[in-house]
Copies of this chain bind each other. A is one copy, B any other.
Amino acid sequence: MVAVFEPSEYQARTSRAQELMGQHGLVAMLLTCEADVRYYTGYLTRFWESPSRPWFLVVPAIGKPVAVIPSIGAALMGQTWIDDIRTWAAPQPGDDGVSLLADTLRDLAPSGNIGLPYQLESHLRMPLGDYAALQAALPDHSFGTDHGITADLRQVKSEAEIAKIATACTIAGKAFADVPTIATIGTPLSDVFRNFQRLCLQHGADWVPYLAGGADQAGYCDVISPASDAPLQEGDVLMLDTGLIHDGYFCDYDRNFAVGRASAVVQQAQHQLMEACAAGLEAAQPGATAADVYHAMHAIVGGSDAGRLGHGLGMQLTEGLSLIAEDHTVLKAGMVITLEPSVATQNGRLIVHEENIVIREGGAQILSPWSKPELEVI
- Seen from chain A, the residues whose Cβ lies within 8 Å of a Cβ on chain B are 1-3, 33, 44-47, 49-53, 70-76, 89-94, 96, 116-129, 145, 190, 193-195, 197-198, 201-202, 204-212, 221-229, 243, 305-308, 311, 316-319, 322, 324, 326-327
- Contact assessment for A44 and B226 in the assembled complex, using a CB-CB cutoff below 8 Å: yes
Q: In the complex the two chains form, what is the Cα distance from A64 to B50 in whole Å? A: 29
Q: Which listed residue (B127, B202, B229) contacts A120, Cβ 8 A?
A: B127
When distances are taken between beta carbons in the complex, the residues of chain B under 8 Å from A74 are 222, 305
26 contacts between A and B (CB under 8 A): A1-B228, A1-B229, A45-B212, A46-B209, A46-B226, A47-B212, A50-B210, A70-B307, A71-B305, A73-B222, A74-B222, A75-B225, A91-B308, A91-B322, A92-B307, A94-B326, A119-B129, A194-B202, A194-B206, A195-B201, A197-B201, A198-B201, A201-B201, A206-B227, A208-B208, A209-B209
Chain B's closest residue to A4 (CB) is B226
Closest chain B residue, CB of each to CB of A194: B201
- Are A198 and B209 in contact (CB-based, < 8 A)? no
Roughly how many angstroms separate A306 CA and B91 CA in the complex, as a whole number? 9
Residue of B nearest to A306 (CB): B72
Residues on B with C-beta less than 8 A from A197 are 197, 201, 207-208
A205 / chain B contacts, CB cutoff of 8 Å: 194
Tell me the minimal C-beta distance from A282 to chain B in angstroms: 24
- When distances are taken between beta carbons in the complex, the residues of chain B under 8 Å from A52 are 120-121, 311, 318-319, 322
Residues of B close to A123: CB separation below 8 A: 51, 123-128
Question: Do B145 and A120 touch across chains, with their CB atoms under 8 A apart?
Answer: no
A71 touches B121 (CB 8 A): no
Residue of B at shortest CB range from A210?
B49
What number of copies of this chain does the assembly contain? 2
Q: How far is the CA of A50 from the CA of B318 in the complex (A)?
A: 5
Assembled-state Cα–Cα distance A202/B33 (Å): 32
Nearest B residue to A49 via CB reads B210
Q: Which of A195, A224, A311, A317 has the most CB of B within 10 A?
A: A224
Q: Considering the chains assembled together, what is the distance between the CA atoms of A188 and B306 in angstroms? A: 41
Q: Give the CA-CA distance A75 to B209 in the complex, in Å.
A: 22
Q: Is B319 in contact with A51, judged by CB distance below 8 angstroms? A: yes
> Which 4 pairs between the two chains have the least Cβ-Cβ distance?
A75-B222, A47-B224, A89-B307, A50-B318
Report Cα–Cα, A206/B317, bound state, in Å. 19
Contacting A226 at CB < 8 Å: which of B45, B126, B228, B319? B45
Establish whether residues B201 and A72, one from each chain, have CB atoms under 8 Å apart when the complex forms.
Answer: no
Given the complex, which residues of B lie within 8 Å of A209, measured CB to CB?
Answer: 46, 49, 209
Residues on B with C-beta less than 8 A from A122 are 51, 127-128
Contacts of A194 in B (CB 8 A): 201-202, 204-206
**With contacts A51-B122, A74-B222, A195-B201 known, what are 12 further pairs, Cβ within 8 A?**
A1-B190, A45-B224, A46-B211, A47-B212, A51-B316, A52-B322, A89-B307, A90-B307, A91-B322, A116-B128, A118-B129, A190-B206
A47 to B75, CA, bound (A): 32
Complex contacts, A326 vs chain B, CB 8 Å: 92-94
- A349 CB to closest chain B CB, in angstroms? 11
Report the Cα distance A119→B45, complex, angstroms. 24
